[in-house]
Every structure is written in C-alpha cells, then in structure tokens.
Amino acid sequence: MPAMTMVFTAVDPKMLEGLKPGDKVRFTADRKDGAYVVTAIEAAR
C-alpha cells in the first residue's frame, strides 16, 4: 500500500511504547466488533 494515515486502536497500548509519530511500522490488524485493532506492531527497518 502507498503511505497513508489511518486510525487504529491498539489491543494493548503498551505495545506502542518506543514508537513515535512519523515512525514507519509493520503491523498486524484484526477486525473486532466492526473496527480494526492492531494486534502486533514493530518499527520497520
């Protein structure tokens, strides 16, 4: 996908520690109750 800004909710907010706005990331999201939630995330290299 091309770069874009989207809003997702993290299953556990602690998984976002160490990341900052503008960081490139790789993540996994699942659909839960009609919304997409991030289940895993890491900084892209």
The model's pLDDT over 11-42, given as tens digits with 9 standing for 90+, comes to: 999 999 999 988 999 999 999 999 899 999 99
The pTM assigned to this predicted structure is: 0.74
Distance CA 24, CA 1 (A): 13
pLDDT value at 3 more than 80: no
Tokens encoding 44: 């892209």
pLDDT for res 5: 79
pLDDT for res 30: 95
Distance CA 23, CA 43 (A): 7
Query: Are 38 and 28 within 8 A, CB to CB?
Result: yes
Question: 45: pLDDT confidence band, cut at 50, 70 and 90?
Answer: confident
pLDDT for res 19: 95
